[in-house]
Amino acid sequence: MLLSQYLKYQTERNLYLGQNFSRHLVQKNITPEEVISIHKVALEEIQELGITDNIIISLDFLTEFMIQYGLALREHKILVEQQESMNHEIELAAKVQNTMLRTKKPELDGVEIDFLSVPAGKMNGDYVYFQDDDSDFVGVGVADVVGKGIPAALCMSMVKNGLDTLGQASISPAYALDVLNRIVEKSVEDNMFISMFYGRYDSEESIFTYASAGHEPALYYCAREQKFYDLDESKGLLLGILPDVHYTESSIKLEANDMIIIMTDGVTECRTEDERFLTREELIEMIFNVKEETPGDLARSVFKALEKFQAFHQRDDFTLAVIKKVQ
């Protein structure tokens, strides 16, 4: 009926009725090859057209063709639905992660502390942790999971819970990593590891004590010399590789305007579009150019500089934490 009316009058109304009919077919899950068969039957019923055998044969060929097309279309639709469902789950997981891993910046006389952490995707594989118990000490940890997505977020939750159980900001950084390593080694899969830099600042003595579990060396800026030094004297294995690992720690005394800059490999391994990696000297120059800024502004300025360096194509999570002695 629809086809005969359209062939006879060819009006906009006929097209509109055909479009409505197509929507009805979609709702009934009619496949493309079935639509062609319906069209073929309709043609055969219109005797006055004088349909040739070639037209019928071409429609048979088109039907076979559309069978495969329909299968591919249905598979694509299923994949799209699965991807949408996965994206929804990741968005929910990201919100849960932000809630569970939310950390409050500590306030301590004589020192300014701030950080910036920007994930490359929806989930963040980096984590910044502060331990502040209103004493003369403050603890700061920066961790990076070897892996991404929801498993990485679960690992970070485990790290936070482990650090929370330590309970005191005055805890030894080496001991903190010892405890975390035993927790991680027992709890995560063999192909997942965590790097971490943990430091403790003593405001009474102006001493920063630190330990590292396979993490990027932090930078120490000496304001008197206007030089940067790598804090790489206390190195250790990644968390979760071996159960009985004992970490070492080192200390450095801070003077006015000295800084400790802790980062993840999303900073140090930043690269250009032609795969040229950022050098340590280039990173130090970026930080030196904004050294007079507050810790928060400094972290944001470095992030903007790295955005330009990599042509606004962030490949990895960016995290930078800054501790600055102001008096």
- Are residues 175 and 53 both part of a single domain? no
Q: Phi then psi for 178, rounded to 5 degrees? A: -55, -50
- Are residues 292 and 266 both part of a single domain? yes
Give the tens place of pLDDT for each residue, 239-286.
989 988 999 999 999 999 999 999 999 999 999 888 899 999 999 999
What was the pLDDT predicted at 309? Answer: 94
Using pLDDT thresholds of 50, 70 and 90, give the confidence band for residue 83.
confident
Give the C-alpha separation, 24 to 53, whole Å.
30
Tally of domains in the chain: 2
Give the C-alpha separation, 37 to 33, whole Å.
6
CA distances from 269 to 18, 110, 125, 187, 276 (A): 58, 32, 15, 28, 10
Contacts of residue 249, Cβ cutoff 8 Å, sequence gap at least 6:
172, 173, 174, 209, 210, 211, 234
Give the tens place of pLDDT for each residue, 32-52.
777 777 777 776 776 555 566
CATH of the domain at 50: 1.10.1240.30
The residue whose two tokens read 């309709």 is: 42
Please state, for a pLDDT cut of 70, what percent of the chain lies above it: 79
Q: Hey, what are 261's tokens?
A: 């800059």
- Are residues 67 and 108 both part of a single domain? no
- Are residues 301 and 160 both part of a single domain? yes
Mean pLDDT of 1-17: 68
The interaxial angle of helices 53-100 and 32-45, nearest 10 deg, is 150
What was the pLDDT predicted at 229? Answer: 97
Of 46, 74, 94, which one is at a domain's C-terminal end? Answer: 94
This prediction's pTM: 0.74
The whole domain housing 42 covers 2-94
